A and B are shown apart, each in its own frame.
Chain A
Amino acid sequence: MIGRSLERLAGGALALLLGAFALITAAVVYQGIAALVPPPLLQLQLHGGEQVNGLLLRETETELELLLEVRAAKPSWRRLQRSQIVHRSAPESACLLHASDGRIRLHVDCTTAAAAADPETWTRSYPNAGGTLALQRWWQAARDFLLAPVRPDGQGGIGSALVSTLVLVLLMTVLVVPLGIGVALYLAEYAQDTRLTRALRLTVANLAAVPPVVFGLFGLGLLVHVFGSQLDQWLFAERLPSPTFATGGLLWASLVLALLTLPVVVVACEQGLQRVPMRLREASLALGATRSETVLRVLLPAARPALLTAFILAVARASAEVAPLLLVGAVRYAARLPVSSEAPFVHLERPFMHLGYRVLDLATSSAGGHFALQQAFACALVLLLLVLALNGAAIAARFRLRARYRDLGTP
């Protein structure tokens, strides 16, 4: 009886966990896409004859929240009770005028002369129009979300944050993948079972047990405060006291992430190497190759899918990690990208924006209100898709890998 109940409970637990996961993913996808759909422009007739036009920001069972206008970066809102409204319409001809400095004006009827504002400074969009205009509008919103320049308050397009994240992760990969493969090769191919190598193995394994934020603190305390200020004194003494490397930046962040992902790379590579059949090694050695030649020309090519998996897993892990970056240089707004067409091309000392940090910042900043939250979800969606796609790729690579080893004749 108890066994039966437990059995069913276990099934329920599986369903619950997967359901929660599906729910979270669905919620982020829905909210993220909804954030990109511009709200409709409503024309409301109130009791007492008053007429209100506004963009519908939020709608609950009892009230509506409207954006009336944005004048000199100051939005004016209005909250209306549903009971106040007599008539509600969304005229197709209504249009939204955006100025380049962020001002917004609304017009119910854009065909009239009153709406014919200066077309040089005002761009026009039709939030209620259907058909191709609606598609165009959505396309415009998506493009703005990706490409618009980021504003100092942290809102605006996510393009630069995306680019910075990718640069950071790539730099981390350059640091960690050769090192990780080297460690895995040593542990799998060279290390004999001595006390020293066992200690080594244990230490590398324990790197995975260190909470990510501890690496962040390590980066801040040792890399930034000690190494960074020393570097500044040697190389950038003319810029002191303004810090160059003695503040969080791309280099330190990528080092911290490299430390964080090292165990991932090592474990994945080691597993891959262990699966390469022994007879390949033996055949290569028997033919007179040295061990290094065996490793470089036989083992590594045979384990290539495993190395790819390791690489993808490291990238996925690194792009999902935010906590250590809070300590080593992720900022709300960086005026310049960490990459440019100028001389060093990759500016290792610059603070950078980051997708995950942006989610956190938008979710916790009180300034942006509803817009900020929507943006947070849109960012979260991009981050989620990125991470899930990478992990999916790693899983697919692993299945391919298994098939390949089956061909090679290992269990």
Chain B
Amino acid sequence: MSTSAVLQRRLWRDRAFRGALAVAAVSSAAALLAVVAFLLAGALPLLDWRGPGLKQLGTRSLDARPRHLSVGRPTASTPLLDLLLARPGVPQCAEVGGRMGCYRSTVARPDLAANGTGAQIEFTLQRCAGCTIAAQDRAVAEVRPGQVAVLLSDKRSLLLADSAASLSLLRPHRDQLGQLQLQVEPSWTLPGAALIALHRIGDADRLLAIDADGALSLIDASQRRWHDLAELQVDTRNDALFAAEEQIFHWRQGELRHYRLSRLDTPPLLDLWQPLQVAGQSKPAALWQPHSDDGAGTPRLNLWPLLLGSLKAALLGLLFGAPLAVAAAMHSVQYRSGLWRDGIKSSFELMEAVPTVILGLIAGLWVAPWLDQHLGAALGAVLGWLLLMVLPGGDRHSELSDRNRAAHSLVRCALGLMLGGWLGSTLESQLPGGRLTAWMHSTWGWSYEPYNAVVVGLLVGLAIAPMIYSLSEEALRRAPAGLQEAALALGASRRDTLFGLLLPTALPGIIAACLLGFGRALGETLIVLLASNNAPIADLNPLSGLRSITTTLVLEAPTAVPGSVHYRVLLLATLLLMATTIGLNLLANRWRARMARRPPRLRLHVGRKQ
């Protein structure tokens, strides 16, 4: 083989190698883009702020007014009534748990009914076919005239809409004596004119409503929400309308239009943030109930509880972890011997490697129950530690030799913790009840949930501390050695150099470390899973439980049906989480770059009188 051929082959190999490396680099970058694209694609229908709407599929000319489109057929004289009340006396029956539950409207007083002022609605429960109905299986409620009603998907509740466009729920239930009662639950009002027809669509409690002005809207009965369907306006006197499942046919002046309800399942983006009025609750609440169990159909997916949960855990984690870690880094740059430095650094690296499931195990099995019983001792230990650290003595701390400094810190720390803990537990046992948590509850009304955000924060703080430590220590060490030596040569003490030189130089790096730690805390899963009660509560109270986005993913994603609203909302929450952590990462990078770029403004007062 000629030399040039060999050379050719070598060059070709070189190019191929380079190409392969470039492919590797691009594909690994593509992995992140793939994750983002997957989340975006999944959550995209939710990002549509419009909510449900109507889509016109086609038109056909049809001269004669179709007769079978008579369900919603309005005439000039009678309002467009629902099937039930339009034909009084015809029972509307549905099987309820093996029994037949029937609604029918009865005329309470024929003289009043003739004037169109009053009627009654009766619910009966038939235990078997052809049985006589016992008195206790019969319930009656007054209804006003002009109301429209529709049977909901639980096959026993009626939604009533009256002339003031206010909606109320009629629900049969048994009182203590076993007598069936019909209870009218508090109403809520729609904007716009009186409703003249209601029609249920599909299995969930979604209702198509037409008001007196001919405007269509879609009502979600279980969530008490509605969306206007502005695409279609009906002339209630002359048009005909027919709805079946998601299809809507509308006849007007010789033309039949075919519509389909689109985006029926997807709530508009805003609905994921708005509190929800639920039957039986006095106030609207931010609820996360992906499988609503009261039979009312659609899941309640409010993102606030999850976001606040994640935020609560991460903020408390940062609050506990960051000061300790930064302080520890500040302390450890004082160590001069390589052995101590490397030893401390390596211990923190090992600490970072501890699987979070183990931290969670300890939090759930020990820390949470122990804190519940001995909160006083814990608070005492913290105060004792603080006090003993601040107490004067050992002024030449930073000038001490490495070993003495370490021993000094360790002894003070242990003494403070033990004395404070002992004092705290002694004081706690003097309290009525013997437990600080019980006493707090009885005195101030603070309820202490054993698996609360503080426990989560403590352990999350411990999990992120090593990372913050490593990054801040690196930043502190990166301060130019020349400046440091110059300061020392000018007579500055080690403490002056630390606070006047090292800290200002490293500040951007430390801030970056905290940001990265915060991002890490947001993504923490197992500690939150094991140390909290996983209750989706939308508050920022550190003594109550929480449920973060990450734990929700772990708990719910395996069973969520792909493509369902629940699944999409999970993806959206993940997208938010990921956007936050990546944003924090980018921000941290900028801070670190700033540290390299811009020299700090130093104010070093050497030889200051103490």
Contacts and interface: CB of A to CB of B under 8 A. Distances in A.
Interface stretch (A10-18, A36-44, A106-114, A125-133): A10-18
B455 to A, nearest CB: 14
A317 B352 CA distance: 10
Interface string B324-354: 1101101110000000001010111111011
A50 B526 CA distance: 47
A290 B13 contact: yes
Given A3-B495, A204-B28, A222 B34 contact: yes
B441 interface: no
A56 B39 CA distance: 52
A188 B330 CA distance: 32
Given A200-B29, A290-B14, A13 B530 contact: no
B562 A225 contact: yes
28 contacts: A3-B495, A3-B499, A9-B390, A10-B330, A13-B324, A14-B331, A15-B409, A17-B328, A17-B465, A19-B410, A21-B462, A179-B27, A180-B28, A182-B25, A204-B25, A212-B525, A290-B10, A291-B18, A295-B17, A320-B354, A323-B550, A360-B526, A377-B361, A383-B357, A383-B358, A388-B354, A391-B353, A395-B349
Main SS of the interface on chain B? helix
A204 B530 CA distance: 31
Main SS of the interface on chain A? helix
Interface stretch (A81-89, A92-100, A213-221, A230-238): A213-221
Contacts of A380: 355, 357-358, 361
Nearest to B346: A395
B227 interface: no
Contacts of A304: none
A186 interface: yes
Interface residues of A, number: 94
Given A186-B22, A209-B584, A15 B359 contact: no
B519 interface: yes
B547 to A, nearest CB: 14
B327 A13 contact: yes
* For the complex of A and B, 8 pairs with smallest distance between CB atoms: A211-B523, A11-B409, A182-B24, A209-B585, A13-B327, A292-B17, A323-B525, A10-B331
A134 interface: no
Nearest to B500: A3
B33 A203 contact: yes
B14 A293 contact: yes
B397 interface: yes
A18 B20 contact: no
Interface in A377-393: 377, 380, 383-384, 387-388, 390-392
Contacts of A210: 32, 35, 523, 578, 581-582
Contact of B526 (A5, A10, A12, A323): A323
Contacts of A11: 331, 389, 397, 405-406, 408-409, 412-413
Given A9-B327, A11-B412, A295-B17, A24 B10 contact: no
B385 interface: yes
Contacts of B29: 199-200, 203-204
A364 interface: yes
Nearest to A258: B31
B488 interface: no
Contacts of A392: 350
Interface string B527-569: 0011000000000000000000010011001100010000100
Contact of A9 (B11, B389, B405): B389
B581 A211 contact: yes
A387 B34 CA distance: 30
Contacts of B17: 291-292, 295-296
Given A15-B406, A221-B571, 9 more contacts: A14-B331, A27-B362, A27-B366, A191-B25, A202-B586, A203-B29, A207-B28, A213-B525, A363-B365
A21 B351 contact: yes
For B28, B32, B351, B581, which residue has the most chain A Cβ atoms within 10 angstroms?
Answer: B28
A291 B325 CA distance: 44
A261 to B, nearest CB: 11
A217 B13 contact: no
B38 interface: yes
A364 to B, nearest CB: 7
B483 interface: no
Nearest to A176: B28
Given A11-B405, A19-B413, A392-B350, A259 B31 contact: yes
A18 B344 contact: yes
Contacts of A200: 25-26, 29
Nearest to B15: A292
Contacts of B366: 27
B28 A363 contact: no
A326 B554 contact: yes
A310 interface: no
B323 interface: yes
B309 interface: no
B92 interface: no
B552 to A, nearest CB: 10
B364 interface: yes
Interface string A305-331: 000000000001101111100110000
Given A14-B331, A17-B469, A214-B523, A207 B385 contact: no
A24 B359 contact: yes
A28 interface: yes
A259 to B, nearest CB: 6
A216 to B, nearest CB: 7
Interface of B: 10-11, 13-14, 16-18, 20-22, 24-29, 31-35, 38-39, 42, 323-325, 327-328, 330-332, 342, 344, 346-351, 353-362, 364-366, 385-386, 388-390, 392, 394-395, 397-398, 405-406, 408-410, 412-414, 416, 462, 465-466, 469, 495, 498-499, 516, 519, 522-526, 529-530, 550, 553-554, 557-558, 562, 567, 570-571, 574, 577-578, 581-582, 584-586, 589, 610
Nearest to A383: B355
Given A213-B553, A356-B355, A21 B25 contact: no
A373 interface: yes
Contact of B578 (A208, A214, A327): A214
Contacts of A267: none
Contact of A20 (B353, B462, B526, B574): B462
B353 A387 contact: yes
Nearest to B411: A15
A273 interface: no
B355 A12 contact: no
A183 interface: yes
Given A187-B25, A217-B557, A363-B530, A14 B328 contact: yes
Interface in A34-58: none
A206 interface: yes
Nearest to A4: B395
Contacts of B22: 186, 190
Interface in A339-391: 356, 359-360, 363-364, 373, 376-377, 380, 383-384, 387-388, 390-391
B495 A7 contact: yes
A266 interface: yes
Contact of A186 (B25, B330, B360, B562): B25
A183 B25 contact: yes
A52 to B, nearest CB: 28
A186 B364 CA distance: 45
B353 A203 contact: no
A205 interface: yes
A262 interface: yes
A71 interface: no
B587 to A, nearest CB: 10
B578 A15 contact: no
For A16, A191, A207, which residue has the most chain B Cβ atoms within 10 angstroms?
Answer: A16
Nearest to A7: B397
B512 to A, nearest CB: 12
A78 B347 CA distance: 44
Contacts of A291: 14, 17-18
